[in-house]
Structure 1
Amino acid sequence: MDIQVNKVSSEEELEKVFEIRRVVFVEEQNCPPELEWENEDVSIHFLATADAVPCGACRWRKTENGYKLERFAVLKEFRGKGIGYKLVETILKDLPQNANPIYLNAQLDAMPLYAKFGFVAEGPQFEEAGIQHFKMVKQ
């Protein structure tokens, strides 16, 4: 399977990102839609494809607390194929060289993936959009 992750450069690609996130977060995980669509204009978006089929998405943005990686989503039928790994790998390479700190809010089942890239849980477990998370910071 040919997995590609590219920075979004067109409105058409951004629509594909939003559709993947809608399916994963709003439909599958029952996240409130109004929480899903925020900070889009200040984020750098990425689209993953497997054999040219859109299958994953993520984004990063600069916040007052550092560089936040967000909205990692892989369509159900594409999970377990290394797409999440490729998304994290690509987004980290895209960050400015002096990006620090780098952090994310990880759903519990995604924590082992982020740990492979040096992210460590920090602080207490919390709920976001009805799903348990830990803040993780890149060491």
Structure 2
Amino acid sequence: MTKQGLLEIERISADQTVDIRHVVLWPEKAKPDVVLPEDADGTHFGASINGALVAVISLFETPEGIRFRKFATLPEWQDKGVGTQLLTHAIQWSRKKGERRIWCDARVSALPFYARHGFAAQGGVFEKSGVAYTVMSREL
């Protein structure tokens, strides 16, 4: 529950992630550019407020642990705890699967968010499509 309504987190299809990914992460690109080749192999979760999807996260099994990608919350729902609840759900899901680590390529602008949730930087900064990133990970 948020002050704005009932928050629900549930598994969704890869197709359901595309609109929010596009609006939040790469609005200047074509919508197909936010679709990942490995989306069919991933597990996707969405956070909905009163039935409307407002945040998404996609999880992929890797030899290094669970990698999450395309974690996005609509701007009007940022800083309201929705992303925190969705990330917490992803962490709990990963733990239940017996994973020992969860990680992502984090935008440098989001590093304080990940640090607040127990993630630490692993290595230096690199660039993808003109955006600065670093690997952030957390032991489970």
Range into which the TM-score falls when normalised by the shorter chain: 0.7 to 0.9
Distance, in Å, in 1 between the alignment partners of 2:31 and 2:54 is: 21
In structure 1, stretches of 5+ residues that fail to align are none
Distance, in Å, in 1 between the alignment partners of 2:86 and 2:39 is: 18
Distance, in Å, in 2 between the alignment partners of 1:31 and 1:101 is: 32
Distance, in Å, in 2 between the alignment partners of 1:24 and 1:116 is: 21
The 3-state SS of whatever aligns with 1:16 is helix
Distance, in Å, in 2 between the alignment partners of 1:103 and 1:110 is: 14
Given that 1:25 and 1:36 are in contact with CA atoms closer than 8 Å, whether structure 2 keeps it comes out as no
Q: CA deviation at 1:136?
A: 0.8
| 1:107-129 CA distance string (max 9 Å, x none) | 12222222222110110011123
From the superposition, tell whether residues 48 and 35 of structure 1 become closer, same or farther in structure 2 (CA, over 3 Å): closer
Q: CA deviation at 1:56?
A: 0.6
Given that 2:18 and 2:35 are in contact with CA atoms closer than 8 Å, whether structure 1 keeps it comes out as no
Task: Tell me the TM-score normalised to structure 1 length.
Answer: 0.84
| 1:51-76 CA distance string (max 9 Å, x none) | 22111100111113321011110111
Partner of 1:20: 20
From the superposition, tell whether residues 99 and 31 of structure 1 become closer, same or farther in structure 2 (CA, over 3 Å): farther
1:136 and 2:136 correspond: yes
Q: CA RMSD in A?
A: 2.1
Distance, in Å, in 2 between the alignment partners of 1:93 and 1:69 is: 13
| 1:23-49 CA distance string (max 9 Å, x none) | 222316x48843642210111001111
In structure 2, stretches of 5+ residues that fail to align are none
Given that 1:20 and 1:74 are in contact with CA atoms closer than 8 Å, whether structure 2 keeps it comes out as yes
Task: Tell me the TM-score normalised to structure 2 length.
Answer: 0.83
Over 4 Å off, 4+ runs? 30-33
Distance, in Å, in 1 between the alignment partners of 2:109 and 2:31 is: 20
The 3-state SS of whatever aligns with 2:135 is strand
1:71 and 2:75 correspond: no
Given that 1:35 and 1:129 are in contact with CA atoms closer than 8 Å, whether structure 2 keeps it comes out as no
Aligned residues: 134
From the superposition, tell whether residues 112 and 20 of structure 1 become closer, same or farther in structure 2 (CA, over 3 Å): same
